[in-house]
Amino acid sequence: MSRSQLYPFAQAMAIGFGLLRLAPDAFWRMTPRELNAAIGGATGHAFRDAPKENDLAALMRRFPDEPEKTSKQ
């Protein structure tokens, strides 16, 4: 599954920064559900449901908050 199939980041960034005029730090602190609600409030409808649990788990595995530590020998 490609990144764009999990969540439309390019469209979300365009709306978040362009329409909602969010600062980058505010945008990246938002959960997909919060961003979806903000978009819905600004446009009258949300563009997509928040990711499902298994899709979110796949995103978290692919893009962990902290990179895995590698042992140096």
More confident residue, 39 or 24: 24
Rounded to an integer, the average pLDDT of 5-16 is: 85
Task: Measure CA 32 to chain center.
Answer: 5
Looking at residue 62, what is its pLDDT?
A: 85
**Domain map of the chain by residue range?**
3-62
pLDDT score of 17: 94
Its pTM surpasses 0.85: no
The C-alpha atoms of residue 70 and residue 25 are separated, in whole angstroms, by 28
Helix (H) or strand (E) holding 25: helix 24-29
**Band (16; pLDDT cuts 50, 70, 90):** very high
